[in-house]
Structure 1
């Protein structure tokens, strides 16, 4: 009986330590991800012609963690400028359809990574997400 209670006490005391070890291992493996939301949304004109056409894009940038996100936020004005310039060069054809929007997303990601590579020496942004993309032709 004493052996059983000693074993039970050992398991109860060792349980939290074992759980903490497993948690620490899990934390080390969990990827660090942080998102930078470009707020307010990007709004502007696109295309050529007599009629004005508008876009509105809510964009989030996926980074490797909070420290990287701070660096990206520091360069947000330049990133916003480059993205607005990219969007303003689009046409109705380049903004219609899922495939074309995916191409635009990839171009925007490359543009952001190029800006950060020039300014910080590394791309820093892993992905670019359109939270909302509204086109008014």
Structure 2
């Protein structure tokens, strides 16, 4: 009888705690998303200096807080120019490989966070997401 009662108590406690867990997680996260529009379309360095490829990427920025969305929108020209500059300096093998693509994404994220920290005092941007990634070279 004691085992049965203890089992019921534990089961009830787990159900109650799991019911409230998503509510707490939603209260804590107040992220916003902002797209760099239009898509980033730029050249990258081909196999030889005579050959250029091009890349077209749809970029979404994950903003730490909805309240910072207006700040990010205000700095949109700087954010776009930074992403275009980083893509334009990449070699073909980096643009075409999955690991290279991740390296590019991280480089863009770091550069955008550094720019926003310099301009606003905070990083503002939590993550960079590529939702479309096309290249030709």
Which category describes the TM-score, using the shorter chain as reference length?
0.7 to 0.9
Q: Pick closer, same or farther for the CA change 1:85–1:28 going to 2, 3 Å.
A: closer
Shift of 1:69: 1.3
In the TM superposition, 1:1-137 aligns within 5 A as: 26=24, 29-47=27-45, 49-137=49-137
**CA root-mean-square deviation:** 1.8
Shift of 1:29: 2.8
Whole-Å separation in 1 of the counterparts to 2:26 and 2:60: 25
SS of 1:50's partner is coil
| TM-score normalised over the length of structure 1 | 0.76
SS of 1:80's partner is helix
| TM-score normalised over the length of structure 2 | 0.76
Shift of 1:50: 1.6
Q: Pick closer, same or farther for the CA change 1:91–1:34 going to 2, 3 Å.
A: same
- Which ranges of structure 2 fall in alignment gaps of 5 or more residues? 1-19
Q: Pick closer, same or farther for the CA change 1:27–1:126 going to 2, 3 Å.
A: closer
Bigger mean CA deviation after superposition, 77-86 or 60-69:
60-69
Asked which structure has the greater CA Rg, the reply is 1
Q: Pick closer, same or farther for the CA change 1:74–1:30 going to 2, 3 Å.
A: same
Shift of 1:98: 1.4
